[in-house]
Amino acid sequence: MSHLLAFFKTRTGAGVLFLLGMFVIFYFIREHRERQEKPTKAVVSEDEALLGQMSPEENRPAPDKPVNSEWVKENKIERFRPPPPAAAPSTTTSKTSNGTSQKVSYPKLVHFYEEPGKRTQAPKEIEAPRVFAPMGTLIPCQLVITVDSSSLETPVVGFVTEDVWHSGQLIAPAGTEVHAFAKRSRVRDRIEVSGTWTFVWQDGRQYRIKGLALDRTHDPDADTYGLTDGSAGIRGQITKTDQFLEFKLFAATMIGGAARASEDSSETIFGSRPENSITNAGLEGVSTVAERYAKLLLDQIDDDGLFVRVPAGTEFYFYALQVFEPELASIAGLTQGEQPRNSWEKDEPRTTAPTESSGVTATPDSSIAAVLKQREALLNRVSAFDQRKDKP
């Protein structure tokens, strides 16, 4: 105890004792103010007690507690009364020369537009084609012209080398021409040919179908197939536009670097800086020209420096992505509507139907002559109505 009293007699102990005393005084002052400012507790109803709670559904009254219901008097409820139905529009009558009255039918508002024709519904049961080859049929073909990969669409022309049969029926006879377009790029040593292909029979009939070209590596003498047989694309040879293109690129890059390294420079607080002299100006120009020439050669290598060339006579497969139906072949592809469609995908011809407003027959032809004919019929109808209206 004596040690504790001795500690409080020191400056540190006196400071600690002073802080404890101030804490106790402020604590009692705060408690006193809170007691004075605390409002009297008001009576809160059961509904108000539920407000502001996180889960008011947990404080519901007991199930056996009676619930008060309140009746609403009848004279306090506003009944809903629907508006009365609109009166039917009265028709205007006019007297004719005989003195009898007749109804006048005003022309409706007419817009010039092509009314969509009515399409006949497709039958519920789709008839299967009689002559067909399933999807995935491989048709051996051979190129007639040389094909090069370029930035332009290149035509691919070939012919069928062997008769293709399915279920004892001839699908594509040998000698049938095939036409397509190559893609604007190359993949390794291949040219990609996919999309719509056109088969042209020897009598001039055409048939369109979706498919792609596959590589064909077949040795007829040994009756063997190569390792890449059936792979995507038509295989060709990679050809360079310039044999010394890489050497030119290397030389231009070396000259540009040597010219930039030969410039005279001086050390400053910001590092090495080239000096302003005629020699450095010439070297800088040589370096800039060499770098631009190197970039030009690099772009040429990426674009046309290397390309794939497939010579004429190269064999390939046509892989059908649709059901092959040779019976749809027609002159100019009119049966298919010049689209690669199957028999159940063809559009039915549209039928003509008179319009209610103008009485003009709507035709599928949307030419200027049809529009002028509709306009003339409308003007004749309007003029007839004006003449009938002017009569007493």
pLDDT tens for each residue of 195-219: 999 999 999 999 999 999 999 998 8
Q: What whole-number distance in Å separates Cα of residue 8 and Cα of residue 20?
A: 12
Backbone angles phi, psi at 275, to 5 degrees: -80, 150
pLDDT for the residue numbered 265: 74
- C-beta atoms surrounding 172 within 10 Å: 26
Q: Is the pLDDT of residue 327 over 50?
A: yes
Tell me if 368 sits within 8 A of 350, measured CB to CB.
no
pTM of the model: 0.49
> Among 47-51, 98-102, 336-340, 355-359, where is mean pLDDT lowest?
355-359
String of b and e for 13-32 (b: at least 16 CB within 10 Å)?
eeeeeeeeeeeeeeeeeeee
Tell me if 350 sits within 8 A of 121, measured CB to CB.
no
How do residues 298-314 score in pLDDT, each as one tens digit? Answer: 676 666 667 888 999 99
How do residues 69-118 score in pLDDT, each as one tens digit? Answer: 555 555 566 666 777 776 555 555 555 556 666 665 555 555 555 555 55
Give the whole-number percent of the chain exceeding pLDDT 90.
23
Q: What angle do CA 172, 175, 340 make, to 5 degrees?
A: 45
271 Rama sector, left if φ>0, alpha if ψ -120 to 50, beta otherwise? left
